[in-house]
Amino acid sequence: MKEIIERLIAFDRFSMYALYDHVWAIFSANGILSDGLSVLKDNFSEKKCKQLACGILRHVFLIEIVTVPGIETTKFRTRWYSQLSGDPRECSFEECLEIAQSLILILVNSWLNESKNVEAMTLFLEYGILPYELPIDYLERPAVHDTITRIHRMGNVEWIVNENVIRTLKLRQYLTNPQTSPDAEFFKKVINHKIKIKTYLTDRVLTGLHKTNREKRWEVHPRSVHFALRRVCITIEYELITQLCAFEGFPENFREMLQEQEILPQIMEISRCPITLDPLAFQDFREELMNPTHGRSNFQVGHLNPLKLDDPNSIAAGHTPGNIAWISANGNRIQGSLSLEEVRNLLKRITHNYENEGLA
Rounded to an integer, what distance in angstroms lies between the CA atom of residue 222 and that of residue 206? Answer: 17
3 state SS of 74: strand
Res 313: pLDDT: 55
Question: CB 264: neighbour CB atoms within 10 A?
Answer: 22
Average pLDDT over residues 167-171: 97
Average pLDDT over residues 126-140: 96
pLDDT in tens, 244-274: 999 999 999 999 999 999 999 999 999 999 9
pLDDT of 316 > 70? The answer is no
pLDDT in tens, 84-105: 999 999 999 999 999 999 999 9
- DSSP state string for 40-64: HHHHS-HHHHHHHHHHHHHHHHEEE
- Region of 358 on the Ramachandran plot (φ > 0 left; ψ -120 to 50 alpha; else beta): left
Which residues are CB-neighbours of 60 under 8 A, at least 6 positions away? 79, 96, 99, 100, 103, 136, 157
State whether the Cα torsion 284-290-293-296 is positive or negative: positive
Rounded to an integer, what distance in angstroms lies between the CA atom of residue 29 and that of residue 46? Answer: 18
Closest CA to 77 of 85, 94, 95, 65: 65
- 90 in Cβ contact with 76 (< 8 Å): no
Give the strand pairing for 74-78 and 136-138.
unpaired
> What stretches of the chain adopt beta strand conformation (E)?
62-66, 74-78, 136-138, 157-159, 299-303, 324-328
Res 68: pLDDT: 87
3 state SS of 185: helix
Q: How far is CA 187 from CA 65, 180, 257, 285, in A?
A: 29, 12, 16, 11
| Partners of residue 74 on adjacent β-strands | 66
Rounded to an integer, what distance in angstroms lies between the CA atom of residue 343 and that of residue 334? Answer: 8
pLDDT of 30 > 90? The answer is no
Residue 307: which pLDDT band, with cuts at 50, 70 and 90? Answer: confident
3 state SS of 73: coil
Average pLDDT over residues 137-147: 91
Amino acid at 67: T
3 state SS of 327: strand
- 135 in Cβ contact with 121 (< 8 Å): yes
Res 314: pLDDT: 54
Average pLDDT over residues 37-55: 89
Report the percent of the chain where pLDDT is more than 90. 79
Rounded to an integer, what distance in angstroms lies between the CA atom of residue 309 and that of residue 353? Answer: 34
Res 233: pLDDT: 97
Res 315: pLDDT: 47
Which residues are CB-neighbours of 120 under 8 A, at least 6 positions away? 135, 161, 165, 166, 169
pLDDT in tens, 186-244: 999 999 999 999 999 998 888 878 889 999 999 999 998 899 999 999 999 999 999 99
Which residues are CB-neighbours of 320 under 8 A, at least 6 positions away? 228, 232, 236
Residue 311: which pLDDT band, with cuts at 50, 70 and 90? Answer: low
Out of 40-54, 106-120, 133-147, 310-324, which region has the weakest mean confidence (pLDDT)? Answer: 310-324
| Partners of residue 301 on adjacent β-strands | 326
| Average per-residue pLDDT for the chain | 92
Average pLDDT over residues 149-176: 97
| Partners of residue 328 on adjacent β-strands | 299
Residue 111 DSSP one-character state: G
